[in-house]
Amino acid sequence: MAEKAYLIGQGIAHSLSPPIYTAAFDAMDLDVVYELLDVEKHELAKAEAAIRAPGCVGANVTMPHKFWAARAADEVDSVARACGAANLLALESGRLLGRNTDAEAIASLLAEREAAVSAGRALLVGAGGAAVAGLWALSRVTPAGIVVSARRTEATDEMAALAHVLVPGVRVETALLDELDGRQAGITLILNATPAGMHDQREDPLPSFPIETGNLVYDLVYRREGATALQARALAAGAELVDGAGHLLEQAFPAFEAFTGTAAPREAMRRAVVDVLGREPARWSRA
């Protein structure tokens, strides 16, 4: 009988995870079926029962359930513990082990541009589990300063307080999203950890914030239909871009290895993304 792996989240019918993991399991000749568990908060007990069942290797977890995943795990690694959020639950000997491969992936990709990131300030947009992962990743490359921004003052303040803990010694400023207009000078990295653009391609989380040549834009959103408004502006401005598909692949490699105990077939997983999107995922890409 085939084993199972899941993606747990809400509104996940668009996800690229099923083709990515299906291609990976097929490439390694593993009899594992990848399924979506689209559940609301009150249904999470059902989701936990499914991933603890015999024959399950674990689950990826996406918004808005990443904080729940860290609480549901029997054990979390140091990254998930620091973030208070997990996007991976791997089942080993009946125990759920939580990891934050989002944070690991962002840190890995930012390390490829560490000199540019550390030379300026980072603008982090969002206040959910992905934004917290971004803060942890920034602690690995240490920008000159961080501007944290969200729609609500309370959320922005909470993220700023967490930034002081996760990235000690770095100057942290706050700004509401509708206050961002370019006066926050010295930004070299823009990290969007909101879902803006996911459902409406025209939605831009930073409509009044200028993007300049040489900026780095890391947008956790991807669309099957094409670039978001933010991603299109980044490429038009001559910035380097990581899009959500590039990020999803980077965090999927360690997740596959946690599920199976074997090295990820990276080329098969990349080809699966290209087959669905009809384009390469952006990994510090330029127009």
- Active-site positions read 66
Which of 143, 138, 153, 125 shows the shortest CA–CA distance to 83?
138
Report d(CA 237, CA 135) in Å as an integer: 25
Cβ-count burial 26-65 (b if 16+ within 10 Å, e if not): ebeebebebeebebeeeebeebbebbbeeebbbbbbbbeb
Residue 175: its H or E element: strand 171-176
Q: ∠ CA(169), CA(234), CA(227), 5° rounding? A: 120
DSSP state letters, 229-287: HHHHHHHHHT-EEE-HHHHHHHHHHHHHHHHHSS---HHHHHHHHHHHHSSPPPEEE--
H-state helical runs in 101-170: 101-111, 114-119, 129-141, 153-166
Report d(CA 177, CA 81) in Å as an integer: 28
Q: How many CB atoms lie within 10 A of CB 208?
A: 11
- Residue 1, judged by CB atoms within 10 A of its CB (0-12, 13-18, 19+), counts as exposed
